[in-house]
Structure 1
Amino acid sequence: MVTSRSSATARSRTVVPRRRGPVLERAILDAALEQLSTVGWNGLTMEGVAAEAQTGKAAVYRRWPSKEDLVADALASGLPSLDDAPDLGGIRDDLYALTQLVREAMYSRPGWALRAVLHECDQSSSERFQALIMNGVIQPSADLFGEVVRRGIRRGDVRPDVTGSMIFDVIPAVLMYRSKVCTSEWPDAEIAELIDQVMLPMLRSSSD
């Protein structure tokens, strides 16, 4: 019995190794994302994040003076990067592959968290996070769609007069609308339908 009691006492005294600098900051940011995914914006507290990260709340407040600051950094640091447009040899395949990448960003844990924040937070906070999703997801994806279309013009499989920036916004706009209003999770079949029935008719000449 003495041995068993001693072992239990030793286990109860196990301490998480102390973390500092970037390691601790990453743990806090990950904890904020986890809290957003489980309790949402309204339920997230600095104390809850500290507990999730297994640190003191003072360590959180030293780095982020407000919940908005913490959540903005957590989302920005977690959003997948959209750096390169796929080059698969044809406009349809390029658009299809790029749309899949954008969908993955939107449905990543940070993407889900960001959209949840936009639904829950007040107007002043919402504007800040709308800017975050615009700069982190929408604008980069529109830039890549523009690159794909211009490449298609050079190849000859997109008509040369397709140069307006609104064309580049169509897929991101439809993705956001269907996600937010229709709660669609965008299966591959719906992506193919968007490419074949909306984008290609706009991009190719009537003779094609």
Structure 2
Amino acid sequence: MKQTSARSEAAEPGPAAAGAARRRGKALEQAIFEAALEQLTSGGFARMTMEGVAGAAQTGKAALYRRWPSKLELALDALASTLPARTDVPDLGSVRSELMQLMGTYQAALDSPGGAAMRALMAELDHDRSALVKDFVMGQVMEPARRATLAVLRRGEQRGDVRPGAATELVADVGLALLLYRNKFSDAPVTAEFCAQLVDEVMLPLVRPAG
């Protein structure tokens, strides 16, 4: 009888083990975001559910709704967590090197689980919700990329490898806009080779000094 009791006690986790397995704070948030991204990429936004995310993250559905009133808001926060913290580029000595680094950063983001989730989200959202996605893309993706590209181009003007007056918002939007277009509408992948082609055949001709 004593052996059976000891075996039973060993098989059941005690309070310390249960507490160690319980996620809190940033660990729980990360688990929720990973579960949301996995649901987006595997089944699309239509099949993503708060119940499914809560189950995968091992938390309660009520805890999700206290922070995210809708699954769209949760999806957007999960996407935001995958974006590069900063896209500033140090002085690398040439505008080409700096643009290549920027495009490489964006390529990596598009190839990440977050990039796949963004494609799934944008493919399935109805018109009423698309405004929220548009605001997210503009505020979290396009605006930071525009600022980073403008900084590169303005530094190039000072260095002399960018034509004076070429550092405009329209020119700065071109690179990422073409990457997003290819990511959303083309079956061809966004590769390092495509980024180099984009820089050499599109972006540099737009800003290169005359002659």
Contact 1:118 1:130 in 2 (8 A): no
- Give the ranges of 4+ consecutive aligned residues of structure 1 lying more than 6 Å apart after TM superposition: 11-14
The aligned amino acid for 2:105 is L
1-structure distance, mates of 2:47, 2:13: 29
The percentage of aligned residue pairs carrying the same residue is 45
Q: Give the TM-score of the pair, scaled to structure 1.
A: 0.87
State how many pairs are aligned. Answer: 204
1:34 Cα deviation (Å)?
1.9
SS across alignment from 1:161: coil
Q: 1:161 aligns to what?
A: 165
1:107 matched to 2:108? The reply is no
Deviation digits for residues 107-143 of structure 1 (CA, Å, limit 9, x no counterpart): 2212221221011121122221121122111211111
Q: 2:197 aligns to what?
A: 193
The aligned amino acid for 2:179 is L
Point out the more displaced range, 41-50 or 194-203. 194-203
Q: 1:135 aligns to what?
A: 139
The aligned amino acid for 1:200 is L
Unaligned runs of at least 5 residues, structure 1: none
* RMSD of Structure 2 on Structure 1 (CA): 2.4
Deviation digits for residues 145-166 of structure 1 (CA, Å, limit 9, x no counterpart): 1111110000011111213321
1:81 Cα deviation (Å)?
2.2
Q: 2:53 aligns to what?
A: 49
1:68 Cα deviation (Å)?
1.7
Q: 1:10 aligns to what?
A: 11
Contact 1:146 1:165 in 2 (8 A): yes
Point out the more displaced range, 74-83 or 156-165. 74-83
1:171 Cα deviation (Å)?
0.4
Q: 1:30 aligns to what?
A: 34
Q: 1:60 aligns to what?
A: 64
Q: Give the TM-score of the pair, scaled to structure 2.
A: 0.85
Q: 1:87 aligns to what?
A: 91
Contact 1:47 1:57 in 2 (8 A): yes
Unaligned runs of at least 5 residues, structure 2: none
2-structure distance, mates of 1:189, 1:21: 40
